[in-house]
Amino acid sequence: MTQRTFGQPATPRPDKEIQRVLVVVAHPDDSDFGAAGTIAGWVDAGLSVTILLCTHGEQGGFDDTNREQMPAIREREQVAASAALGVKDVRFLPGHRDGWLEPSWELQRQIVEVIRDVQPQRVLIQSPERWYDRIQASHPDHLAAGEAAVRAIYPAAENRYAWPELIERQRLEPWHVNEVWIMAHPEMTHVVDITDTFGRKVAALQAHASQTGHMSDQLEDFLSGWGSGVADMFGLGQGRLGECFHIMDLG
Ligand SMILES: [Zn+2]
């Protein structure tokens, strides 16, 4: 177990202590904007990564694509984006409307099911806390997905009396998550240097053509501006690119 003093930010465990990672986000493209470079690095380090989407993101986009077609389009785009990072396990939860996500008991139970099935040591989520300085990162669905994920991680996933039918009917035994990485948190405590995986981050976001196609050539500049701002903030050095997180250690 990692030793630390309360009040000090947690630092992540070495990747070699982690075998499986679960990423939980509200919409297709969320994990790619926030963490594609980091996720690509985890894949390179041999970690098995599963991405779970709470909605199909049918409210996204900037053109008049028929909204009934959007769920299938965005599902295909997320699968392609994840493939660019080397992630093959991409799952979508049924029954949640984009823009209407709530940290409901149903959403929590669905996330608990996936946690117990995947058995991740590390889970990457969106912040349940609103970041007022960057309100776009704190879309209400992101807050809801983050809140539901935190509640699912602790206590429900590790408590056998939470939804006992998961054990009785589906043989999904309790599972303890060791570490949570939070994107778009108001207090960022950890940076990952993504300079070497940045090209795959760009490829992943290009795969979300319904969301990024209108940016065309500016997409890469936009992402590198963002990454170098993070690198500067954490002192990674000239020409480096970063992604940053708040880390929770659950022992
Ligand atoms: Zn989103």
Q: 165 C-alpha vs ligand 1 centroid, how far in Å? A: 31
Rounded to 5°, angle at Cα 159 from 153 and 163: 95
Q: What is the pLDDT of residues 181-192, one digit of tens each?
A: 999 999 999 999
Q: 236 C-alpha vs ligand 1 centroid, how far in Å? A: 27
pLDDT at 207: 97
pLDDT at 106: 98
Alpha-carbon span 186 to 146, nearest angstrom: 13
Strand duo 190-193 + 179-183: pairing:
unpaired
Alpha-carbon span 126 to 153, nearest angstrom: 13
pTM above 0.85, yes or no: yes
Q: With a cut of 50, list the residues of the chain below it in pLDDT.
A: 1
Q: 138 C-alpha vs ligand 1 centroid, how far in Å? A: 8
pLDDT at 3: 57
Q: 182 C-alpha vs ligand 1 centroid, how far in Å? A: 14
Q: 56 C-alpha vs ligand 1 centroid, how far in Å? A: 10
Host H or E run for residue 91: strand 89-92
DSSP state at residue 186: S
Q: In the structure encoding, which two tokens stand for residue 168, read together?
A: 């009785």
* Spatial contact of 138 and 123, defined as CB atoms under 8 Å apart: no
Q: 33 C-alpha vs ligand 1 centroid, how far in Å? A: 9
Cβ burial of 141 (10 Å; 0-12, 13-18, 19+) is buried
Name 215's bridge partners.
none
Q: In the structure encoding, which two tokens stand for residue 240, read together?
A: 């480096």
Q: 186 C-alpha vs ligand 1 centroid, how far in Å? A: 17
Alpha-carbon span 222 to 231, nearest angstrom: 14
Q: 145 C-alpha vs ligand 1 centroid, how far in Å? A: 10
Residue 183 in 3-state DSSP? strand
Q: 20 C-alpha vs ligand 1 centroid, how far in Å? A: 23
Residues in the 5 Å CB sphere of ion ligand 1: 27, 30
Q: Which residues have CB under 8 Å from 133's CB, separation 6+?
A: 186
* Spatial contact of 130 and 143, defined as CB atoms under 8 Å apart: yes
Is the peptide bond prior to 155 cis by the omega test (within 30 degrees of 0)? yes
Q: How far is CA 227 from CA 36, 49, 100, 193, 243, in A?
A: 11, 22, 30, 9, 6
* Spatial contact of 182 and 23, defined as CB atoms under 8 Å apart: no
pLDDT at 4: 62
Amino acid residing at 130:
R
Range 204-241 burial, b when 16+ CB lie within 10 A, else e: bbbbbebbbeeeeeebbeebbeebbebbeebebeeebb
Measured on CA atoms in the order 26, 29, 35, 38, is the torsion positive or negative? Answer: positive
Q: 130 C-alpha vs ligand 1 centroid, how far in Å? A: 13
